[in-house]
Structure 1
């Protein structure tokens, strides 16, 4: 049985670090207020002129270097983002050109904060079906471009960054002891579109700003993230006791803690980076994976479950053995 196995990982964060105190200069907020409600202490913002594809390319090159590969050895590039440089072409094709890939194909996936989980599922399908042998999967965002800087309930939460994985086809036995992606679980429900959205686009002919019903998103997140993680584990023939690391979407420390409790996983088995990066949407899981490896937390053979929820609402989980 073909498995999609992680062969390399990397990330990139813009140079500009923005502490919570920066918001207190213009908004009625404070470092304590932001930390107590989100767990966030700082985040990174892209420089003027720095685009999502720029961030994605830096993360892609880091993952390729970790895998010992060149850009032209990749069959497909999938970039999860809600903040692509342009309406079209895809930011993925811009990364393709930047890394010197001339033999593959590239496309974007847009599922907001769940985008990287969706992208992993598509990469897995390409590899398992034999349509690709190596897939570069990237999550990258510049959410600082779509913030309403007068809305303290949203603008303090988000940051910019990118993370990437190289997935390669390897033979497995079909058992849960195999390395690679073992199962995926994807969901969406468009009835909840008004809970988290950007009020711009082609229809309005402007970029728009992010809008969120925070309390409702929180309620759905805690409920749905635990359910999708359980579902993905069940599909793999596993349960929470088998998990070495939960690598969740880094949106809010209270969501992360509540979801871990529902799963029955102690926080010492959860990779947490939200304090340093804020919510980087589709970039948050690959960022956390790369940081988790760099910290020495995630090691070869570890069983991981990743889960995320974003606008749509869209949510899902992936179980993989590192």
Structure 2
């Protein structure tokens, strides 16, 4: 018996926002002062650090719950299950439904209840709830699904990561270029097959790190409205991540009993290309190894950072042969790993 992902689905918005589209923005420092560089130089430096050339935004008429529903439909179809047999719907997000050009996040009812409604599931024993866990939310949802199934209170869970970060970015902040929208979903089931979830690890660092990512005011001092935007201390996050994420990944791999040489892919949260590379290189350094070529598939260059959606969309795209020179085959051992607001870190060792 094994607890496995038996179906996947994703929704990648079709509105493309290219780096050149930010040339007309008025970027300011966090204190409101002018940046002593042209927007073209700012954007070029941003691309060199993050690897992002373009990102995807949801259509104005769509909300987080809508795109979560789209991904869920695909995962259910891919798993070939009756949706009335789903025991839990777990939706990871951070900001709920933020309608285009509004200042308020709407989280009542929960995103999971909205998805259940859109799926037209009648079974009241299908329990729907949300996970607020920063960017690692989808992975944590899978860990929770695993616990439910192991305990015997569930057989089938739908776990979704969905976000529309384009609705909560400050146009006067350079960091706004990082964020994007998207949704990914999986069906997690108890099966009679081998493999599945072999080990998992989660940690929250909140003594000094809790507010590394936060909701703050615009960088533009001339704007007096009360709207708040996603903000972060980038350098602190970078140092935190490259120090702590490799250790968590190693702890998880060692717990699983899998040899490092048998690891085929690392599906890491698409936060920042340079940071992700540094994390994976340090992970392999803990085993006195060099990072193997092709071990870390990346979508951030085209899709940006869609928070909880980056890992499940990456996984779905690989399984559907939508990424060049990237495959996950039966029996392959992979790592799902993420880091984000909280500050939270988690990882799963998974045998496909």
Normalising by structure 2, what TM-score?
0.85
How many pairs are equivalent? 311
What corresponds to 1:175 in structure 2? none
Measured after TM superposition, the shift of residue 199 of structure 1 is 3.3
Measured after TM superposition, the shift of residue 207 of structure 1 is 5.8
Q: Which of 296, 299, 313 lines up with 1:273 in the alignment?
A: 299
What corresponds to 1:105 in structure 2? 127
What corresponds to 1:232 in structure 2? 252
Determine if the alignment matches structure 1 residue 315 to structure 2 residue 335: no
State whether residues 134 and 169 of structure 1, in contact with CA within 8 Å, keep that contact through their aligned partners in structure 2.
Answer: yes
Tell me how large the CA RMSD over aligned residues is.
1.7
CA–CA separation in structure 1 for the residues paired with 2:341 and 2:164:
16
Could you say which structure has the larger radius of gyration?
A: 2
Structure 1: segments with no counterpart, 5+ residues? 173-177
Q: Which of 194, 198, 202 lines up with 1:182 in the alignment?
A: 198
Q: For residues 102-122 of structure 1, give each alpha carbon's deviation from its aligned partner in whole angstroms, at most 9, with x where no partner exists.
A: 221111101111111211110
Structure 2: segments with no counterpart, 5+ residues? 27-37, 98-105, 218-224, 285-290
What corresponds to 2:29 in structure 1? none
Determine if the alignment matches structure 1 residue 160 to structure 2 residue 181: yes
CA–CA separation in structure 2 for the residues paired with 1:70 and 1:25:
49
Q: Which of 306, 315, 327 lines up with 1:289 in the alignment?
A: 315
Q: Which of 215, 227, 243 lines up with 1:198 in the alignment?
A: 215
CA–CA separation in structure 2 for the residues paired with 1:240 and 1:198:
39
Q: Which of 272, 275, 279 lines up with 1:259 in the alignment?
A: 279
State whether residues 117 and 318 of structure 1, in contact with CA within 8 Å, keep that contact through their aligned partners in structure 2.
Answer: yes
What corresponds to 2:155 in structure 1? 133
CA–CA separation in structure 2 for the residues paired with 1:54 and 1:94:
8
CA–CA separation in structure 1 for the residues paired with 2:192 and 2:239:
40
CA–CA separation in structure 2 for the residues paired with 1:310 and 1:239:
27
Q: For residues 234-276 of structure 1, give each alpha carbon's deviation from its aligned partner in whole angstroms, at most 9, with x where no partner exists.
A: 1111242221110000011111111121122324111211111
Normalising by structure 1, what TM-score?
0.92
